[in-house]
Amino acid sequence: MKPVPKNGVLDIEIYVPGKSRAPDGIKLYKLSSNETPLGPPPAALEAASRTLFDLASYPDGQANDLKAAIAEVHGLNTANILCGNGSDELLGLLCQCYLAPGDEAIHTEHGFLVYEIQIKAAGATPVVAPETDRTADVDAILARVTEKTKLVFLANPNNPTGTYLPFDEIRRLQAGLPGNVILVLDAAYAEYVRRNDYGAGIELVSSAENVVMTRTFSKIYGLAGLRIGWLFGPEAIVQAIDRVRGPFNLNAAAIAAGAAAIRDRAFVEEAASFNAEWLEWTTREIEALGLTVTPSVCNFILIHFPDEPGKGAAEADAYLTARGYILRRVAGYGFPNGLRMSIGSEEANRGVVAALAEFLKSPS
């Protein structure tokens, strides 16, 4: 007899993160994980380094300083906030708390891969809702709700498409769900969105009993390496997750850096403006090369390559990698001919556009 994991676990396809290597001796531009080229705010680095003098002590298991800073900046109560080791951890904990074998959880066709992994790890069944124009389709989601549905995951904006669902649609989705189904709004890219209805999502979470929002410090705050995520929602849900998380799920450097970073609003504003400028430039220049780009509100774009021999995403990826530009293949997300590119530094963005122009001209 050998140990056997519970049903579903061996059906999980291993999550392969974006590549981080260029060939030896070539300058690397890592544009595969939607990280920021601007790094964290300096105050976050200072705060994190101070914690290194006391590594013998456990961190604050409640992450109180971080929760207080988040509450202050977003106008929330700390009782509605829970911090996690990246928002990935919080997505997993939601599944652990609310899903059991026999349950179903819905995610969209091109939704973030971690949903499916965590749903299966909880022993439950993922249900895929098709999209329209690469954007979540509320009617398609609602049509898939059954008595077994316990969670609905919606990344808004979505990774890897960068598409955005207006708030009216989110409200319609929430209104159409039974009260015992939790709507998880994954807002990892929230700070990049420049739509004036976005704040309404926060109000919806604050007023409903069955909506939570997850956020991250990995994107605009430049702290992906420290793993800091947070969730806010009804106290009952926060308390359930609080029971099952690891007692010290955030390390001391993460707590200190996150609290300092979120208070630096000028940094966030500048980073969002930088992104808006280069998102527009990069999209326009890549389209001018004759490639299609899905319109994005995030810090990345999804580039679609033609079905021509020698000119597809695999060949483009190899060509760019050889020159140090590391983008992300997204075949696992249902885009065999797509490459996702994070908006990088000016040098990186210009370099990718120039390399793509050469690639498209080169003999196949």
Alpha helices in 36-177 (DSSP H): 42-51, 64-74, 86-98, 113-121, 138-143, 167-176
157 preceded by a cis bond (ω within 30 of 0):
yes
User: Does 159 participate in binding ligand PMP (rule CB under 6 A)?
Assistant: yes
CB of 195 to ligand PMP, least distance (A): 17
Nearer to ligand PMP by C-beta: 260 or 356? 260
Strand blocks (E) in 73-210:
81-84, 104-108, 125-129, 149-155, 182-186
What is the identity of the amino acid at 301?
I
Nearer to ligand PMP by C-beta: 151 or 188? 188
Size of the site for ligand PMP (CB under 6 A): 13
Nearer to ligand PMP by C-beta: 93 or 356? 93
Q: In the window 226-285, what residues touch ligand PMP (CB under 6 A)?
A: 229
Which of 86, 123, 126, 234 contacts ligand PMP by CB under 6 A? 86
User: Does 294 participate in binding ligand PMP (rule CB under 6 A)?
Assistant: no
Q: How many helices (H) and strands (E) does the chain have?
A: 12, 13
User: Does 155 participate in binding ligand PMP (rule CB under 6 A)?
Assistant: yes
Nearer to ligand PMP by C-beta: 81 or 355? 81
Rg, the chain, Cα only: 21
* C-alpha to C-alpha distance for 155 and 108, rounded to whole angstroms: 9
Which of 35, 109, 137, 186 contacts ligand PMP by CB under 6 A? 186
User: Does 118 participate in binding ligand PMP (rule CB under 6 A)?
Assistant: no
Nearer to ligand PMP by C-beta: 41 or 229? 229
Torsion of CA 107, 109, 112, 117, to 10 degrees: 60
* C-alpha to C-alpha distance for 214 and 192, rounded to whole angstroms: 15
Nearer to ligand PMP by C-beta: 135 or 285? 135
- Which residues sit at the interface with ligand PMP, rule CB under 6 A? 34, 86-88, 112, 155, 159, 186, 188, 216, 218, 224, 229
